Amino acid sequence: MLGSSVEIRNVDKFFGDFQALDKVNLQIKRGEFFSLLGPSGCGKTTLLRIIAGLEYPDSGDVLFDGISVVSIPANKREANTIFQNYALFPHLTVFENIAFSLRLKKMSENEIREKVEKLINLVRLEGQENKKPIQLSGGQRQRVAIARALANEPKVLLLDEPVSALDAKLRQELLLELDNLHDQVGITFIYVTHDQAEAISVSDHVAVMNNGRIVQIGTPYEIYESPADRFVATFIGETNLMKAEVVDVNDEFIRVIAKGLGEFSCYKDKEVSKGDKILLTLRPEKIKISTKPLEGINSFHGVVEEEIYMGYQTKYFVRLDEGYILKIYKQHVNYLLDEKIIHWKDEVFVTWNPNDSFIVEVEKG
């Protein structure tokens, strides 16, 4: 199977007065695993339904392999959908659900049998052929939905929050399976989710959406490490947001002064000038914490206000001397046996590399 490239051009969609999509542009490469990520109501599902042909854009265009498909109805588009609740046909068996599109194509009984069996093997549903959807577990239902969609040999597979109805552990498993499946079938996957962890763990590219707009498109790494704005920074993972004023500008770095923190350096990833008010984001795991004084350009002293033990790491909330509360994740590595475990009310030293903070908003001063 071969996937299609998908392009969205200037798509607008209104539901009454509500604008669900606002000038959306997207380019998805052939065979990519692409995620649409955003909070509920951001328009990601609407966009998916427009790609599927279940909704029509009010303006703009949708192209598969460079050819407009807007005028092609859902039943003729080479895209198939895994619905959020799987939408299996309750009156048909697993076998017949998967064979549904094949029967519409009037294939011979032998061909159908052969094809369905292949798909059943692919999604590992052997022995469940004659069960009705109601007799299956959530994970099995999802697999039927996938097999049913793949049976139609789509060039694009659209997945609408396919694992959201499952419990956390199963979700991880199925996500991994989806990833493997994607590698096997090689078609384009467009995956809609509100869960940033899902999106960044499986996707080649992620588009983050908010209020009907695409805020950032990039690889999971780019999205996480250099969020384009405050929304992306806070929506994906946890972060420390710091308001600061630029006091000095160099070639690569700037000096800023922030209330509650004092003066420190950071990487100049956006063009700023002296006097600008900026918003910085700094991921909690980038900060080093120790009971001993630490060397570094950005070094602060504070007291642990709260400590949350999470097994693989501990979350600390450290109140700096000047009042700012910094969120810090510390992995439990313990290379040095003499390193003291930090506890509540301990006095600590913290530091971070100026390269690790990013400017997400600039207000010219």
Partner 1 sequence: MKYITAYTLWLVVFFVIPLIIILSFSFLEKTPYGGVNFSFSLEGYKSLLTIGYLRILWRTVWISIISTFITIIFALPTAYYIAKSKFKNFLLLLVVIPFWTNSLIRIYAWIFVLGNNGIINQFLKLIGLVDSHIQFLYNPWAVILVIVYTYLPYAIIPLYAAIERLDNSIFEAALDLGCSKRKAFFKVLIPNIKAGLVASIIFVLIPAMGSYAIPDLVGGVNSKMIGNEIARQLTTAKNWPAASAISSILTLITLLGVIIFVKSSKKEVLN
Which chain residues interact with partner 1 by CB under 8 A?
A: 52-54, 73-76, 80-81, 83-85, 87-92, 100-101, 104-105, 148-149, 152
CB atoms within 10 A of CB 136: 18
CB of 87 to partner 1, least distance (A): 4
- For partner 1, the closer of residues 76 and 169 by Cβ is 76
CB of 155 to partner 1, least distance (A): 14
**Residue type at position 196:** Q
| Dihedral angle sign, alpha carbons of residues 50, 51, 54, 59 | positive
- For partner 1, the closer of residues 71 and 334 by Cβ is 71
CB of 114 to partner 1, least distance (A): 19
- For partner 1, the closer of residues 52 and 174 by Cβ is 52
Beta bridge partners of 362: 278
CB of 128 to partner 1, least distance (A): 17
- Secondary structure string (H, E, C) spanning 301-349: EEEEEEEEECCCEEEEEEEECCCCEEEEEEECCCCCCCCCCCCCCCEEE
Structure tokens that stand for 114 in this block? 């052969």
Cα torsion 361, 194, 157, 92 to 10°: value is -170
Do the Cβ atoms of 43 and 19 come closer than 8 Å?
no
- For partner 1, the closer of residues 70 and 92 by Cβ is 92
- For partner 1, the closer of residues 88 and 304 by Cβ is 88
294 three-class SS: coil
Of 284, 237, 253, 272, nearest in space to 361 by CA = 272
137 three-class SS: coil
CB of 149 to partner 1, least distance (A): 8
To 5 degrees, how large is the angle CA 281–CA 282–CA 286?
165
CB of 96 to partner 1, least distance (A): 10
CA atoms within 13 A of residue 205's CA, in its CB half-sphere: 16
CB of 144 to partner 1, least distance (A): 11
- For partner 1, the closer of residues 46 and 196 by Cβ is 46
CB of 78 to partner 1, least distance (A): 10
- For partner 1, the closer of residues 105 and 118 by Cβ is 105
- For partner 1, the closer of residues 87 and 249 by Cβ is 87
Of 3, 40, 32, nearest in space to 192 by CA = 40
CA 189, CA 47: separation in Å to the nearest integer? 14
